[in-house]
Structure 1
C-alpha cells in the first residue's frame, strides 16, 4: 500500500473503514443484511478479496487480530448467501404488488 500515492492511500483506507463500519452495523442488526445484499452484493466480497492479504498481514505485524474483523465477517456472510441462495434481479421478480406501494 505504501507504493500508492498519498491520495490513493487515503481512498484505500477510507473504503476499508467504510466496509468495516457497514459490517459492524449489520452485525449489530442496525442494518439488514438483505439491504446490503441488494445494494452492494458481490462488491463486498470482491473488495474483501482485494483487501484480505493486507488485513491478514497487518493482524500479524501490529499485532491486532481485530483489524477488519467486521469487513471480513460481512464479506463471508454475503458470499455464503450468494452461493446458497442466489437472488434474482428485482426486474425479473417484481410484481404488480411492488408498484402499489
Structure 2
C-alpha cells in the first residue's frame, strides 16, 4: 500500500476543502456541495482517507444533535494532525506535477 492516495482531481478538491479549516468537522454531503462532486465520488474518497491512510477521523453525531432536527445522524470527518501535514504535502506535490504537465503541453 502506498503512503499517499492517488491524487485525482476529486481527491484534491476534498483535501482542499478539508485543509481550508483543518480543525473543522465536516459531513459528507457538505463536502459534496463544496466540491461539486457526486456522493458516489466523495464518500469512497472519505473512506479511503480514513481507513487506508489514517488522514481523517470520523465521529458520529450525538443523538441530541440530530434528533432535535428530525434527521438521521451524520458522520463528521476531521483531519488528524498528521493527516493535515500529509495532505498539504501531497497537494503541493500534485500541484507541482500538474504545473509541469501543463508546461510540457504548452511547449510541445
Q: Which has the higher contact order (CA 8 A, sep 6+)?
A: 1
Superposition TM-score, scaled by structure 1 size: 0.32
The TM-score normalised by the length of structure 2 is 0.30
Larger strand proportion, structure 1 or 2? Answer: 2
